[in-house]
Amino acid sequence: MSTRFVIFCFPRTGSYLLTDILNKQEGITCHEELFKKNRVELDEQYRSQLGLSRDDMEKRDADPFSYLEAVYDMSPGPVTGFKIFPAHNREILLKLMNDTGIKKVFLARNPVQSYISTLVARETGAWTKTHHDKPDSVVQVKFPVNGFIRRIHEQRKFFERIITAIKLTPGNPVHIIDYSELKDPARMHLLAEYLGIESWDDDVIPKYKKQIVKPYPEIVADWDGVRENLKQLGVDETCTFFDFMTAYNRVIYSDSILPK
């Protein structure tokens, strides 16, 4: 029997990189955003079989369960999956969280990193970058604190919603991987083992590359002020998502802050 999986993730967490790495492994088909809001993000060969164009979102969403089942069924290889964001499709999210026949992967990233990545993408208009793309001109972005607070809240809320639903369903495991681990062979081998991938190639070269290559002080205006704000929350830009949230919760819910 083939293995079905889903990658729960938030935008700007490295999901295109992960799907590309998986697609380059033998026996894996990993689609991208099957329920993307503004287009049917499915390769033409599969869309053709389903009679869908890239603009047929309404037709796709009229029966999302049949669409998902069809995509799983027609995909070659023993391991098939895709990625989904919190705003994609509420009904499908509920199904995926509770369906023990679908393996769950949660891809997370430090909110500082994902927020800065979003700010830069908005400024440059480049939401993904491949090795063939021309280098972007150097940009500098502001770091609105209120926007960052929303980012923390949204990522934390999505993570807790998914993990809680999974934990409350017996026989429903989840594998959590951080953006920082996507190029760590040991961590990727654990992911391969979880998905039942028999052979894993550490030497694949993804088509996507890191979008921000310069240090944050050169990208973010008043970076020193941002770092001071982060210290107030007990976090920084280098830790994993899990360590970030652990430190954040420790500060936000400390005895010295909560009312007596």
pLDDT in tens, 129-160: 675 566 666 689 999 999 999 999 999 999 99
Across all residues in the chain, what is the average pLDDT? 92
What is the gyration radius of the CA atoms in the chain, in angstroms? 19
Q: Is the pLDDT of residue 260 over 60?
A: no
For residue 126, the model assigns a pLDDT of 82
Gap between the Cα atoms of 92 and 84, Å rounded: 9
Asked whether the beta carbons of 16 and 208 are under 8 A apart, the reply is yes
| pTM for the model | 0.93
- Domains of the chain by residue range: 3-252
CA 39 to chain centre: 18
Residue 164 backbone phi and psi in degrees, to 5:
-65, -45
Element (H, E) at 79: strand 79-84
> Sorting pLDDT into bands at 50, 70 and 90, what band is 209?
confident
Which of 52-61, 110-119, 139-148, 251-260 shows the lowest per-residue confidence on average (mean pLDDT)? 251-260
Asked whether the beta carbons of 113 and 17 are under 8 A apart, the reply is no
DSSP three-state, residue 3: strand
Asked whether the beta carbons of 10 and 155 are under 8 A apart, the reply is yes
Average pLDDT over residues 211-222: 92
Which of 45-49, 117-121, 195-199, 253-257 shows the lowest per-residue confidence on average (mean pLDDT)? 253-257
Which of 24-33, 152-161, 227-236, 249-258 shows the lowest per-residue confidence on average (mean pLDDT)? 249-258
Average pLDDT over residues 191-197: 95
What is the DSSP code string of 174-211?
EEEEEGGGTT-HHHHHHHHHHHT-S---TT---SB--S
For residue 176, the model assigns a pLDDT of 97
Interval 89-124: pLDDT, tens: 999 999 999 999 999 999 999 999 999 999 999 998
Report H helices in the chain.
Answer: 15-23, 44-50, 57-62, 64-74, 90-98, 111-124, 145-167, 185-195, 216-219, 223-232, 241-252
**Architecture, CATH, for domain 3-252:** 3-Layer(aba) Sandwich (3.40)
Gap between the Cα atoms of 241 and 113, Å rounded: 10
Which residue type sits at 124?
A: T
